[in-house]
Chains A and B, each alone.
Chain A
Amino acid sequence: MDLSFTPEEESFRDEVRAFFRDKLPTRLSTLVREGKRLRKADMEDWHAILNERGWLANHWPEKWGGPGWSVIQRFIFDNESALAHAPRVVPFGVNMLGPVLIKYGSEEQKQTWLPRILDGSDWWCQGYSEPGAGSDLAGLKTTAVRQTREGGDVYVVNGQKTWTTLGQHADMIFCLVRTDPAAKKQEGISFLLIDMKSPGIEVRPITLIDGEQEVNEVFFTDVEVPVANLVGEENQGWTYAKYLLTYERTNIAGVGFSIASFERLKEVAQSQRKNGRALADDPLFAARMARVEIDLANMQTTNLRVLAAVAGGGAPGAESSMLKIKGTEIRQEITALTRRAYGSYAAPYIPEALEAGWNGEDVGPEDAAMAAPSYFNNRKLSIFGGSNEIQKNIISKAILGL
Chain B
Amino acid sequence: MNFEHSDDRRMLADTLVRALRDGYPIETRNAGAYGEAGYDPAVWAQLNELGIVSALFDEAAGGFGGSGFDIMVVFEALGRALVVEPFLGALMAGRALAAGGGHDAALAGIVSGETIAAFAHEDGATPVTATPSGDGWTLSGSKAVVQQAGAASLLVVTVEQDRDPLVLLIDATSPGVSVRSYNTVEGGAAGDVSFDGVRVAADARIGSEGQGQAVVDAAVGAGLLALSAEAVGAMDFVKEATLGYLRDRKQFGVPIGKFQALQHRMATVLLEIEQAQSAVINAATAFDGDDVTARNRALAAAKYTIGRTGALVAEESIQLHGGIGMTWEYAVSHYAKRLVMIDHQLGDEDHHLQRYIELAKAA
Listed in ascending order, the chain A residues whose CB lies under 8 Å from chain B are 1-6, 9, 72, 286-287, 290-291, 293-295, 297-302, 304-305, 308-309, 322, 325-326, 389, 391-393, 395-396, 399-402
Contact = CB atoms under 8 A, between A and B. Distances in A.
Nearest to B73: A1
26 contacts: A1-B2, A1-B5, A3-B281, A3-B282, A3-B285, A5-B1, A287-B357, A291-B353, A297-B279, A297-B298, A298-B275, A298-B276, A299-B275, A299-B278, A302-B275, A302-B278, A304-B1, A322-B271, A392-B264, A393-B260, A395-B270, A396-B264, A396-B266, A401-B247, A402-B257, A402-B263
B69 interface: yes
A297 B263 contact: no
Given A1-B284, A400-B243, 11 more contacts: A291-B353, A294-B301, A297-B301, A298-B301, A301-B278, A322-B270, A392-B263, A392-B267, A396-B257, A402-B247, A402-B257
Nearest to B1: A5
A327 B262 CA distance: 22
Given A1-B4, A298-B275, A302-B274, A402 B243 contact: yes
Contact of B69 (A1, A6, A395, A401): A1
Contacts of B263: 392-393, 396, 400, 402
A293 B1 CA distance: 22
B190 to A, nearest CB: 28
Taking chain A's interface residues, is the majority helix, strand, or loop, or is none over half, making it mixed?
Answer: helix
Contacts of A326: 271, 275
A309 B3 contact: yes
B1 A400 contact: no
A302 to B, nearest CB: 4
Interface string B325-363: 000000000000000000000000000011011001000
A402 B267 CA distance: 10
A319 B6 CA distance: 24
B258 interface: yes
A305 B3 contact: yes
Given A294-B356, A396-B263, A402 B1 contact: no
Contact of B1 (A72, A391, A399): A72
Nearest to B239: A400
A10 to B, nearest CB: 10
Q: Top 6 closest A-B pairs, CB basis?
A: A301-B278, A402-B257, A396-B263, A392-B267, A395-B267, A298-B275
Nearest to B2: A2
A143 B269 CA distance: 41
Given A1-B69, A294-B301, A302-B274, A287 B353 contact: yes
B195 interface: no
Which of A295, A395, A402: most chain B CB closer than 10 A?
A: A402
B119 interface: no
Contacts of B4: 1
A111 to B, nearest CB: 37
Contacts of B2: 1-2, 308
Contacts of A308: 1-3
Nearest to A326: B271
B16 interface: no
A392 B271 CA distance: 10
A72 B3 CA distance: 13
B305 interface: yes
A127 B64 CA distance: 60
B268 interface: yes
Nearest to A4: B1
Contacts of B260: 393, 396
B144 interface: no
Interface string B1-40: 1111110000000000000000000000000000000000
Nearest to A301: B278
B357 A290 contact: yes
B281 A301 contact: yes
B229 interface: no
A294 B356 CA distance: 9
Nearest to B304: A294
B134 to A, nearest CB: 46
B246 interface: yes
Given A297-B282, A298-B305, A9 B274 contact: no
A111 B1 CA distance: 37
A299 B301 CA distance: 12
A4 B260 CA distance: 39
A114 to B, nearest CB: 31
Contact of B267 (A1, A5, A6, A400): A400
A389 B301 contact: no
Nearest to A319: B274
Contacts of A1: 2-6, 69, 281, 284-285
Interface in B287-311: 298, 301, 304-305
Contacts of B354: 287
Given A294-B304, A298-B275, A392 B3 contact: no
Nearest to A288: B353
A301 B282 contact: yes
A391 B264 CA distance: 9
Contacts of A72: 1
A5 B356 CA distance: 25
A302 B3 CA distance: 11
Contacts of B298: 297
A6 B275 contact: no
B1 A2 contact: yes
Contacts of B246: 400, 402
A326 B357 CA distance: 22
B360 A305 contact: no
Contacts of A396: 257, 260, 263-264, 266-267
A294 B278 CA distance: 11
Contacts of A5: 1
A306 to B, nearest CB: 9
A231 to B, nearest CB: 33
Contact of A402 (B69, B258, B279, B305): B258
Contacts of A4: 1
Interface string B24-60: 0000000000000000000000000000000000000
Interface string B244-262: 0011000000010110100
Contacts of B271: 322, 325-326, 395
A293 B282 CA distance: 13
B350 to A, nearest CB: 8
